[in-house]
Chain A
């Protein structure tokens, strides 16, 4: 069973301001005082060099549970450490009676060595009763003019409700994590619908899309060399494994399929779902040949629900068969008896990936690794040794496989024709949500490839 996403707890610092029954006007006045005080303190006696205020964005995080609120606060603080921003965490408490707002303002001051200090503001609002249904009326007065406003719905957005629609009018982009949707397929459909119904400049971004970056890169890099471009039109089979028990969260698998199909111009011909989270999708490619995509859930410890576990692509072109397999934390298999390196380098992980690492270290010890570094360290791109190494993720062949739950290994296997099977193991840093969010914000929230993939994924998920 895939583990649930756990919330990180925010550091508890003393609020610069707190009021139990606050009006938004109170919050605005308090923020103004805090900013003025900070500017005065930083300026000291130097009136000639006033302290500029820096703010690159307003991030509005909407949370409905304690865990979501903590998570939003924690991530906001970590982002603010590098990017001066104003964050408003709105904790909706519809179920509580009254229309009371309880407000806190926390400030974090960053003092870079070669720049003046910046103050980041974290406003937390607990909104009771019906007021929470009018999110725009609460946050609009607080928005910093002239910088982008991002609305991050930490859980499942209120798709189809006026609360969300109103809020979208005051935002430049909506950020969600489709891996956390309560009803993934339904939520994903709502997300796709937004891209056509919301105001024309609204950006939409999904943490899940960022998590797929490695998978997309590994797949794209395989086809990147010129001599392999023809393989793109020869793809005939794709198999995608995702974490879950039964039919769980298909979003990541759907998005990856949507990305491939929309990029390669495939048309969906048939879709069917079987038991236990399996599904079959039949496409016709540009030249009319069929492509079969199989999705299945696998019960794995480690990945979160819906996270991809393996992608396998196979086909033939130019009378050559090809096969690409990318697998996350491959399951442990038997270790070959009596391997010389095993005695030298016990790894405690008798699976393919562990053996691969141990094998490399054995070679390293024999003084071989250094001289053959370039051939061993081929990348999935198939480029010349030493070139085209992927920026993400980094390859750490000499690292011991980390025993922590968060350690992740990615095994890539490439088979082209009758040639030697190429294998590569990479150790991935565990996904960090603050970095994922930064990745989305920095990369822009109007990603045409994501939009296209989202629409294609939505179409195929509706067909299932």
Chain B
């Protein structure tokens, strides 16, 4: 596996620790080697030292097993690569061939672009020009989201990638899909017979998807100020969650079957017209405030952010999936930075019973039934239903039945990247996004983005540590609903 951008943040925080943990689980193939490729002038020893430090800091399993780490590091190498310099790609080619012989690797290659998206095209072209994209064994390329910044750029990127690699060798990572709890959405829906019959507009009132982060933009000001939450989170993570909740049962848990159904959902989402965008979307930007008990600066005071920036750090949408199953059911999405807590969840809100058998006074404390799929943290599922309060008379109150991964399985869930890296090695693209998924998602997002650029609706400000601008609450209030408090 060649990691471009091997000395960067993604590699250090996620990829190298994930590979170490795969080694610890003995999931890596014999002779497996990691070759770091980046602009920094390092040698193998220096890169191994760098890898050791990152693994020790960011590995989910602690303490580090030194024997495993030592063995893993014997397969870690480094080649300095300036992405503009074809000769250095050729040097990389020679290094890989040398490793093929030394470690008995049958020529299989995974090229992981842990680099900013603008470099994908250049790297792909250099891989082709240097001959690295062909030869014995498989040759796969992994790219991180965002896949383009709009439909046109996504198509362009796909076109560049597909000139060098066939679509089934392109692995677009949306790491959300590697999370156990995200995969469990499918298990919950399609491995149980009791939920699917109620999973439709007959009984479901609405669906809320929340992707909240308490952190700000950290050191990504330059990127984030161009992207914003709509592109950074909604276009990928949030829409992926929506597709998993709304999709029809696939014939099998097979890459194309699953992805076909997801694409159908995306195609069924009613596109927002310019007028709709005004009524059905909210954009916000955080100002200074308090998060987790600490005072934090406003977005415009962050490093590498324009002082007059109108980039959104919060987005909320109301979408409809126009198909038989979901007709008339609103899907509310909200995502943002500097919200009160880090939480991702999907809430399925059911309709109230058609008739109040027990009368309004008895049920005034009864909320509608709801299923909450908690993606992170405290991963699990809860079901809210009404129960009689044990006392004289008849009073019904909502209670919650909980399932929690942490206390139910007693095993650590693997990091999303562990699962995804392994899937890529064995050639299973089920949990990776296909080109048509990406493009269909951009088709939905582009009109919203265009209207937002024109200032419609106006940017709402919210204090860091709150749940977005007032318009976010109003979006649901207008429908007689309110956001669930995660």
Residues of A within 8 A of B (CB): 23-25, 28, 32, 35-36, 39-40, 43, 47, 50-55, 99, 101, 127, 130-131, 134, 136-138, 140-141, 143, 145-147, 166, 170, 442-444, 446, 448
Question: Is the pair B410, A39 in contact by a Cβ cutoff of 8 Å?
Answer: yes
CA distance A25 to B340 in the complex (A): 12
B290 at the interface (CB under 8 A from A): yes
Smallest CB-CB separation from A172: which chain B residue? B485
CA distance A43 to B294 in the complex (A): 37
Question: Is the pair A145, B391 in contact by a Cβ cutoff of 8 Å?
Answer: no
Q: Which residues of A contact B408 (CB under 8 A)?
A: 50, 52
Q: How many A-B Cβ pairs are below 8 Å? A: 100
Question: Is the pair B465, A136 in contact by a Cβ cutoff of 8 Å?
Answer: yes
B26 at the interface (CB under 8 A from A): no
Question: Is the pair B406, A39 in contact by a Cβ cutoff of 8 Å?
Answer: yes
Q: Which residues of A contact B293 (CB under 8 A)?
A: 23-24, 99, 101, 127, 131, 134, 137-138
Question: Is the pair A442, B407 in contact by a Cβ cutoff of 8 Å?
Answer: no
Q: Which residues of B contact A146 (CB under 8 A)?
A: 372, 382, 384, 400, 402
Question: Is the pair B294, A23 in contact by a Cβ cutoff of 8 Å?
Answer: yes
Q: Which residues of A contact B276 (CB under 8 A)?
A: none
Q: Which residues of B contact A136 (CB under 8 A)?
A: 340, 465
Question: Is the pair B410, A40 in contact by a Cβ cutoff of 8 Å?
Answer: yes
Q: Would you list which residues of chain B between 331 and 376 have a CB under 8 Å from chain A?
A: 340-343, 345, 361, 364-365, 372, 374
CA distance A444 to B366 in the complex (A): 11
B397 at the interface (CB under 8 A from A): yes
Q: Which residues of B contact A446 (CB under 8 A)?
A: 364-365
Smallest CB-CB separation from B397: which chain A residue? A444
B389 at the interface (CB under 8 A from A): yes
Question: Is the pair A39, B292 in contact by a Cβ cutoff of 8 Å?
Answer: no
Smallest CB-CB separation from B464: which chain A residue? A137
Please pick, from B343, B374, B410, B485, the residue contacting A43 in the complex, using a CB distance under 8 A.
Answer: B410
CA distance A393 to B290 in the complex (A): 48
Least CB distance from B293 to A in Å reads: 4
CA distance A39 to B365 in the complex (A): 32
List 6 tightest A-B contacts by C-beta distance, closest first: A134-B290, A39-B407, A24-B292, A141-B341, A137-B290, A140-B340
Q: Which residues of A contact B259 (CB under 8 A)?
A: none
B291 at the interface (CB under 8 A from A): yes
Most buried by A among B294, B374, B486: B294
B231 at the interface (CB under 8 A from A): no
Least CB distance from A41 to B in Å reads: 10
CA distance A99 to B294 in the complex (A): 8
CA distance A36 to B389 in the complex (A): 31
Question: Is the pair A35, B406 in contact by a Cβ cutoff of 8 Å?
Answer: yes
**Contact string against A for B residues 166-208, beta-carbon threshold 8 Å, 1 for contact and 0 otherwise:** 0000000000000000000000000000000000000000000
Most buried by A among B214, B293, B466, B485: B293
Question: Is the pair B404, A53 in contact by a Cβ cutoff of 8 Å?
Answer: yes
Given contacts A32-B377, A53-B402, A146-B382, contact A137 B407 (CB under 8 A): no
Least CB distance from A460 to B in Å reads: 26
Least CB distance from A161 to B in Å reads: 14
Smallest CB-CB separation from A39: which chain B residue? B407
CA distance A446 to B361 in the complex (A): 11
Q: Which residues of A contact B295 (CB under 8 A)?
A: 99, 130-131
